[in-house]
Amino acid sequence: MQHFLSLADLTSEQLRDLIDLAVDLKEEWKQGGNRPLLEGKTLGMIFQKPSLRTRASFEMGMLHLGGHALYFSPFEIQLGERESVTDVSRVFSRYVDGIMARVFGHNDVVVLAEYSSAPVINGLSDYNHPCQALSDFLTIVENKSKDLEGRKLAFVGDGNNVATSLLFGATLMGMDFAIATPSGYELPDDVWEQGERFAAASGSHLFATHDPQTAAADADVVYTDVWASMGEEEEAEERARVFEPFQVNQALLDKAKSDVIAMHCLPAHRGQEITDAVCDGPHSVLWDQAENRMHAQKALLVDLMAEDRL
C-alpha cells in the first residue's frame, strides 16, 4: 500500500494480510514487547477533531515499535485555513515518515495523500473510518474465526462513516452485511453500489431495512454508533427522536445468535443508541475493540513505514 484512506482501496488479500499482521504484532507485544521495527521513524498526526482512542492508540503504537509520534491539535495547523492542504502536505511530508490525519472533510485527506511524499493514513473522515473498521475486524476474527465467510454483521443506526467502512470490510471478508436505519438515514448510493461489487466477488449478501429486529435476526455481530456525530450537534434532539426505536438493547440481541457479540466504536451515549446492560454485559467486546485500535494500527504503520517486517 502507498496510503490508507479507505478499505475500498484494498483487495481482500490485503485486508486479510493486515489482520494477520495485527494478530502477530499483538501476540508479540503480549509476549514481552514488539521489536523496534519503526526505530528512527516519526509519525506526524494532524487532528481537526478531538480524540481519545485515535491519538492514544497511534502514539502508543509508534512507541511500542520504537518510533515517535508528533501531535498537532486543531488549533495549530488549521488545515485549509491558515495554510492550504496542498502546502501543508508538501511541507509536512518532508519532516516525517508518515502522516495520520483525523479530519472533517474526506477530500482533505485525499489531497494530503496526493501531494505527500510520505504515506498518509485516514484517521477518520466524514466519508469513512477505515482504522476503526480494521480494528473491528481484528476483534471479530478473535471472537469468531479467521474465516468469516457466511457470518453475519448487522449494523443498527445511522448510515454514517463507520457503517461505510464496515460494509466495505464485511464484503471484502465474505461476511453478510445487514443494516437497519431510519428512513432518510441510509448509506449513500455510491457506498452501497461499491459494497455490492465487493459482495458479488466474495459471495456475501447485503440487506438494507428500516427494521432493527429484521437486521439483527441470526446475526453473529450487532454493531451500533452514536446517533449524532461530531458536527451534527444541532441535529441531536431530532435524531434522538427518530433513532429511538434503533437502540441496541437486550431485546434486540435476543433476535441474534446466542453467541452474538455486541460492538460500538465509542464514545457511547449510554441509554441512547446502546444500553448499559449491553455495554457491560456478556456479549460486549467494546473494550477489546478499543484496545485493538492500537494493534491494528501497528500493522498499518509497519506495512506503510517499516523497512522490514521480519
Catalytic residue among 16, 48, 265, 295: 265
Does the annotation mark 3 as catalytic? no
Does the annotation mark 132 as catalytic? yes
Query: What torsion do the CA atoms of 153, 155, 161, 164 make, to the nearest 10 degrees?
Result: 40
Does the annotation mark 303 as catalytic? no
Distance CA 92, CA 309 (A): 25
Does the annotation mark 205 as catalytic? no
Distance CA 108, CA 112 (A): 6
Catalytic residue among 48, 293, 295, 297: 293
Catalytic residue among 16, 64, 129, 151: 129
53's enclosing H/E stretch is helix 53-64
CB atoms within 10 A of CB 87: 12
Does the annotation mark 293 as catalytic? yes
Catalytic residue among 132, 194, 247, 272: 132
Q: What is the DSSP letter of 258?
A: T
CA 239, 224, 19 angle in degrees (round to 5)? 145
Q: In the structure grid, which three cell numbers stand for residue 280, read together?
A: 457491560
Catalytic residue among 102, 239, 264, 295: 102
Catalytic residue among 53, 225, 264, 297: 225
**170 Cβ contact list (under 8 Å, min separation 6):** 148, 153, 176, 177, 204
Does the annotation mark 225 as catalytic? yes
Could you list the active site residues? 102, 129, 132, 225, 265, 293
